[in-house]
């Protein structure tokens, strides 16, 4: 296959490397020598568990006779916390918008985005956001957020989406940065967000904050203006108490229709020179300010308190121009949470749209900490607060969707979360909005064990059209003791709709024996990414005293989808085997993914378990850790590498380079949120400006701010040449279609990086990527030298690049042998099997691709290859079925495009258009799909 420079440069972030984890063998002999330490460890755990009050009866009821021999220690005791119990395992109901058919929904969303008026596109991209969140693709989700902000018309939408984009980067966690700091583009700029109007082409421009504007000191001008106004005589007066404020009748009348009627209408005030204004409640100062504004249209010289009163006056007498000026002036002053909480009350009282927007913007950019302020909570959570926001034009579905997502991340079962979701329901209008709002409330109520309310909201969601919420109804019925009713419901769902993996998974909860296992097998076949079937089968094997196969079963999903719960289960099994080293590895990986994770049904913090396991394993110095990291990195053992880095950070928590290394591993494991957290910690622990700039650049790049990332890299290089700064710049520049000159520049940057001090691990990556660029420039000998040098410092992935060079030189056997070396060395080798398939005959290729799919069913190339082979053999239905199988759990651009092409070749143009539109929803600029879709649409018109 041809690879462009971007694809090969991806390994700078280690995304395209081999993924997965090995299946761990059971070595009881290895554990025999640490029996004393093991006994002590078990006693420690026993002491900890005894202090807990949340243990379930089912865990305590495990009998010794049911446990494998490996659980028994020298003293004949068994694990005091028990072993995992399958009856307690339960699949998660996703708190997301899950269509019954993602492809149909993606196609429908794309069509409506294309057809809707420009001013309505922002709302359509909000729906697309919800769909992408259901897919679990954070990159696509952020892409839709940016499109929402780009097409936002009103200020409210701009401030909410800009704040959401910032929240996705979590810049609040960066030391030394204020929530109001700007990233340099209109996209997230606090000032640009307060500018009304539709201007989609400007959002990626540099904002005013980033420009070096000359500040003009106009104090003298204001003072001169004020003096001249005082000297200028008016022709009438407003009297307030003993104060007489001289004004010009014409100017005051021009402020509003009420003033004009008063001063020129049929009232007595129209012919009086002095008008008594004492009973209005306004001060003499504010009337003086109103007079000055009527003449100058400026507010610069007034104190904020006076402008607040002037805003009230403007509201009372319908002075729209003056109100707008006061609104904008006060909005420009809001810069911290304290002022925002104080002034939002004034803004709501006076219905000052921009002032309320500015206050909301500060509150939203301070999330989640701002939700701990009672005033903020009352405003957002109470029905009265929502009504007040609505009157000011600031209550919307997008606002409460944002707030509820953060609340659910913080604490799903809290009252705050429930109240925000209730407000979300009140703000929902479109069908999909109601479906999502009802469903989220159902999920939260289920978590709170309020099963009757949960069932009510899930039923409302299903009635609104969200079929996935049927799971919630069945689960709520099951929790209320109506198991057969739940079973019948899921049975009906499978009969009425095209079966999906989650349907069989849910039905398995409500049956037993062979029927249950068959449902779990069907669930895995339809969607291998569902973790519950693996977990249940693993614990069932454990019940049958088959602890080795149990570990192998749970390791299957860990190979391609790493999650804390699955790692916990494997660690649990390994502790039972007294394989404390393996268990400690998994627990350290868990802590890297989720530092607050609680083990053993939520009864023990993972950190504490590390403390208990640590004495039971061989102790490593920091130098030993580096050696272990090299070993695991070179053998493509990502989880093992994560564990070593975690131990190194425990010894040296301020080492930013280790945090950065951690983020690279997490990206390869598709743990984007955890990777971003590690990057932010790397930035915060930076000991120099040039290092801090590099990590800020990676944060910007990984959240879609490529140009800003380049600026950070260049700033870092200007301070000090470093490996990482050149690496970042090369990576960011390579994220585009490169011509020959650009490729030469990327080569130059990588050579500069290699000339800077760094460790062997990073040098190996640089050499590997430099080789990839040389290959794309057809400099095969130079590429081979790079790969050989990388292999000499144990960069195992360079075997793949060297194989590519051999293949391009028509040395196919050498290419095959090179990939075989990688397969033997790499523990995570699905990618290696996939790549080796390109260098062998069809039968061997099919075998390698079958192994790749078995190790990692998320890799799409094997499905595309098998489908293409079936099409070549004129087995069209089977080819489409092969693609459909993968699309069912991973709607991928390439899979959809290929299936569309197959439909097109068979003359099924309606299906062609549907698949093209679904693919274009994922990438609206994919040229080949656009062309295929256009041709299919033309053929449909010809047939009509």
Q: For 692-746, write each residue's pLDDT tens digit.
A: 999 999 998 988 888 889 999 999 999 999 999 999 999 898 887 678 888 999 9
Alpha-carbon gap, residue 91 to 568, rounded angstroms? 15
Instruction: Note the pLDDT of residue 360.
Output: 97
Residues in contact with 529: Cβ distance below 8 Å, sequence separation at least 6, in sequence order: 557, 561, 857, 858, 889, 890
Q: Quick check: helix, strand or coil at residue 237? A: strand
Confidence of residue 268 (pLDDT cuts 50, 70, 90): confident
DSSP conformation letters of 425-451: HHH--SHHHHHHHHHHHHHHHHHTT-H
Alpha-carbon gap, residue 453 to 469, rounded angstroms? 14
Quote the radius of gyration of the chain (alpha carbons, Å). Answer: 32
Higher-confidence residue of 832 and 47: namely 832
Residue 218, pLDDT > 80, answer no
Confidence of residue 63 (pLDDT cuts 50, 70, 90): very low
Tell me the two tokens of residue 262: 């008063």
**Which of 182-191, 756-765, 868-877 is the least confident region?**
182-191
Cα torsion 744, 745, 749, 755: sign: positive
* Beta strand 274-276 pairing with 243-247: unpaired
Confidence of residue 893 (pLDDT cuts 50, 70, 90): very high
Alpha-carbon gap, residue 39 to 34, rounded angstroms? 9
Tell me the two tokens of residue 566: 């699955």
Q: Quick check: helix, strand or coil at residue 452? A: helix
Residues in contact with 754: Cβ distance below 8 Å, sequence separation at least 6, in sequence order: 723, 763, 766, 767, 770
Q: Quick check: helix, strand or coil at residue 95? A: coil
Alpha-carbon gap, residue 695 to 878, rounded angstroms? 48
Alpha-carbon gap, residue 592 to 601, rounded angstroms? 19
Instruction: Note the pLDDT of residue 279.
Output: 84
Residues in contact with 55: Cβ distance below 8 Å, sequence separation at least 6, in sequence order: 49, 81, 601, 603
Contact between residue 66 and residue 88 where contact means Cβ atoms under 8 Å apart? no
Alpha-carbon gap, residue 187 to 182, rounded angstroms? 10
Residue 549, pLDDT > 90, answer yes
Residue 212, pLDDT > 60, answer no
Nearest one of 708, 659, 652, 649 to 683, comparing CA atoms = 659
Strand order in the sheet with 274-276: 243-247, 236-240, 274-276
Instruction: Note the pLDDT of residue 171.
Output: 64
What is the percent of the chain with per-residue pLDDT over 90, rounded to a whole number?
Answer: 74
Residue 57, pLDDT > 70, answer no
Instruction: Note the pLDDT of residue 44.
Output: 54
Instruction: Note the pLDDT of residue 653.
Output: 85
Instruction: Note the pLDDT of residue 43.
Output: 52
Strand partners, 238: 245, 275
Q: Quick check: helix, strand or coil at residue 211? A: coil
Give ∠ CA 886-887-891 in degrees, rounded to 5: 130
* Helix, strand, coil content of the chain in percent (nearest 5): 70, 0, 30
Average pLDDT of span 872-883: 95
* Rounded alpha-carbon distances, angstroms, from residue 195 to 180, 326, 353, 357, 902: 16, 15, 12, 11, 48
Mean pLDDT across the chain, nearest whole number?
88
All domains of the chain, ordered by start, with CATH?
236-303 (no CATH), 857-943 (1.25.40.10)
Q: How many CB atoms lie within 10 A of CB 223?
A: 11
Nearest one of 857, 852, 900, 861 to 880, comparing CA atoms = 900
pLDDT tens by residue, 347-399: 999 999 999 999 999 999 999 999 999 999 999 999 999 999 999 999 999 99
pLDDT tens by residue, 104-153: 999 999 999 999 999 999 999 999 999 999 999 988 999 999 999 999 99
Instruction: Note the pLDDT of residue 179.
Output: 79
Average pLDDT of span 616-632: 92
Instruction: Note the pLDDT of residue 8.
Output: 30
Instruction: Note the pLDDT of residue 122.
Output: 95
Contact between residue 53 and residue 11 where contact means Cβ atoms under 8 Å apart? no
pLDDT tens by residue, 433-456: 999 999 999 999 999 999 999 999
Instruction: Note the pLDDT of residue 172.
Output: 62
Cα torsion 180, 182, 183, 187: sign: positive
* Rounded alpha-carbon distances, angstroms, from residue 311 to 290, 318, 343, 621: 10, 10, 12, 67
Instruction: Note the pLDDT of residue 943.
Output: 86
- Return the DSSP state at 61: T
Confidence of residue 80 (pLDDT cuts 50, 70, 90): low
Tell me the two tokens of residue 796: 């195992």
Q: Is 743 left (phi over 0), alpha (psi -120 to 50) or beta?
A: alpha
State the Cα torsion 702-708-709-712 to the nearest 10°. Answer: -140
Higher-confidence residue of 820 and 614: namely 820
Higher-confidence residue of 54 and 50: namely 50
Alpha-carbon gap, residue 583 to 42, rounded angstroms? 13
Alpha-carbon gap, residue 584 to 720, rounded angstroms? 39
Tell me the two tokens of residue 679: 């990057």
Strand partners, 276: 239
Nearest one of 553, 651, 549 to 610, comparing CA atoms = 651
**Which of 28-37, 84-93, 269-278, 537-546 is the least confident region?**
28-37
Average pLDDT of span 740-759: 93
Alpha-carbon gap, residue 635 to 796, rounded angstroms? 7
pLDDT tens by residue, 402-417: 999 999 999 999 999 9
Length of the chain as a residue count:
944
Contact between residue 347 and residue 379 where contact means Cβ atoms under 8 Å apart? no
């Amino acid at each position: 296959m041809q690879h462009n420079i971007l694809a090969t440069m991806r390994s700078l972030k280690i995304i395209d490397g081999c993924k997965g984890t090995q299946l761990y063998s059971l070595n009881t002999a290895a554990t025999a020598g640490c029996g004393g330490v093991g006994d002590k460890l078990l006693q420690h755990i026993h002491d900890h568990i005894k202090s807990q009050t949340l243990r379930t009866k089912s865990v305590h009821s495990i009998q010794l006779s049911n446990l494998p021999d490996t659980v028994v220690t020298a003293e004949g005791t068994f694990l005091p916390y028990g072993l995992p119990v399958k009856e307690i395992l339960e699949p998660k109901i996703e708190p997301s918008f899950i269509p019954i058919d993602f492809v149909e929904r993606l196609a429908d969303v794309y069509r409506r985005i294309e057809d809707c008026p420009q001013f309505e596109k922002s709302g359509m991209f909000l729906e697309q956001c919800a769909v992408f969140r259901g897919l679990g693709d954070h990159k696509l989700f952020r892409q839709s957020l940016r499109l929402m902000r780009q097409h936002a018309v009103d200020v409210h939408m701009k401030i909410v989406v800009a704040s959401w984009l910032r929240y996705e980067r979590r810049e609040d966690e960066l030391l030394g940065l204020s929530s109001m700091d700007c990233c340099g583009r209109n996209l997230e700029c606090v000032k640009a967000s307060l500018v009304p109007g539709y201007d989609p082409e400007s959002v990626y421009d540099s904002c005013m904050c980033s420009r070096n504007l000359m500040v003009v000191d106009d104090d003298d001008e204001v003072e001169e203006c004020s003096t001249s106004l005082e000297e200028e005589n008016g022709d009438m007066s407003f009297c307030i108490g003993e104060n007489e404020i001289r004004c010009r009748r014409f100017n005051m009348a021009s402020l509003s229709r009420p003033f004009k009627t008063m001063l020129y209408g049929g009232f007595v005030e129209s012919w009086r020179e002095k008008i008594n204004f004492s009973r209005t409640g306004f001060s003499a100062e504010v009337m003086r300010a109103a007079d000055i504004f009527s003449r100058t249209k400026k507010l610069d010289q007034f104190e904020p308190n006076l402008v607040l009163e002037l805003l009230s006056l403007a509201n009372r007498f319908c002075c729209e121009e003056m109100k707008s000026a006061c609104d904008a002036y006060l909005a420009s002053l809001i810069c911290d949470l304290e002022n925002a909480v104080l002034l939002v009350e004034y803004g709501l009282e006076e219905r000052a749209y921009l002032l309320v927007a500015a206050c909301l913007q500060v509150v939203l950019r301070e999330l989640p900490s701002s939700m701990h302020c009672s005033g903020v909570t009352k405003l957002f959570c109470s029905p009265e607060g929502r009504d007040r926001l609505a009157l000011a034009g600031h209550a919307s579905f997008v606002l409460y969707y944002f707030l509820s997502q953060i609340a659910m991340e913080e604490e799903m079962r809290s009252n705050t979360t429930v109240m925000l979701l209730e407000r979300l329901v009140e703000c929902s209008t479109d069908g999909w909005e109601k479906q999502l709002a009802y469903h989220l409330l159902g999920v939260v109520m289920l978590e709170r064990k309020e099963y009757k309310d949960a069932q009510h909201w899930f039923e409302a969601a299903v009635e609104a059209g969200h079929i996935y919420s049927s799971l919630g109804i069945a689960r709520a019925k099951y929790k209320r003791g109506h198991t057969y009713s739940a079973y019948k419901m899921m049975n009906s769902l499978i009969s009425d709709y095209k079966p999906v993996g989650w349907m069989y998974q849910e039905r398995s909860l409500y049956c037993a024996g062979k029927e249950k296992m068959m449902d779990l097998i069907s669930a895995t076949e339809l969607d291998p990414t569902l973790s519950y079937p693996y977990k249940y089968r693993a614990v069932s094997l454990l019940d049958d005293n088959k602890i080795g196969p149990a570990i192998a079963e749970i390791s299957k999903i860990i190979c391609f989808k790493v999650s804390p719960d699955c790692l916990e289960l494997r660690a649990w099994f390994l502790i039972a085997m007294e394989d404390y080293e393996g268990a400690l590895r998994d627990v350290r990986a868990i802590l890297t993914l989720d530092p607050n994770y609680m083990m053993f049904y939520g009864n023990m913090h993972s950190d504490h378990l590390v403390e208990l396991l640590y004495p039971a394993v061989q102790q490593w110095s920091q130098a030993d850790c580096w050696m272990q990291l090299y070993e695991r990195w070179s053998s493509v053992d990502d989880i093992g590498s994560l564990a070593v880095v975690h131990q190194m950070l425990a010894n040296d928590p301020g080492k930013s380079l280790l945090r950065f290394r951690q983020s690279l591993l997490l990206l390869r494991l598709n743990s984007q949120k955890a990777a971003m957290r590690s990057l932010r910690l790397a930035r915060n622990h930076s000991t120099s400006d040039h290092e801090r700039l590099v990590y800020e650049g990676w944060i910007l790049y990984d959240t879609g701010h490529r140009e800003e990332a380049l600026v950070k890299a260049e700033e870092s290089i200007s301070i000090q040449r470093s490996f990482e700064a050149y690496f970042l710049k090369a990576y960011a520049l390579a994220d585009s279609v490169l011509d020959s000159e650009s490729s030469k520049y990327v080569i130059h940057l990588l050579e500069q990086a290699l000339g800077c001090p760094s460790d062997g691990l990073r040098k190996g990556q640089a050499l590997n990527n430099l080789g990839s660029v040389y290959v794309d420039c057809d400099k095969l000998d130079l590429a081979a030298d790079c790969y050989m040098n990388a292999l000499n410092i144990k960069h195992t992935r360079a075997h793949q690049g060297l194989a590519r060079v051999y293949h391009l030189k028509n040395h196919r056997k050498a290419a095959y042998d090179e990939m075989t070396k990688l397969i033997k060395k790499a523990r995570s080798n699905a990618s290696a099997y996939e790549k080796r398939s390109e260098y062998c005959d069809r039968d061997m290729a099919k075998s390698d691709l079958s192994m790749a799919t078995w190790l990692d069913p998320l890799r799409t190339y094997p499905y595309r290859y098998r489908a293409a082979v079936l099409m070549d053999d004129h087995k069209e239905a089977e080819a489409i079925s092969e693609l459909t199988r993968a699309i069912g759990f991973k709607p991928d651009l390439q899979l959809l495009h290929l299936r569309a092409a197959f439909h097109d070749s068979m003359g099924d143009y309606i299906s062609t258009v549907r698949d093209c539109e679904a693919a274009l929803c994922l990438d609206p600029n994919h040229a080949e799909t656009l062309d295929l879709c256009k041709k299919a649409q033309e053929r449909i018109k010809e047939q009509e």
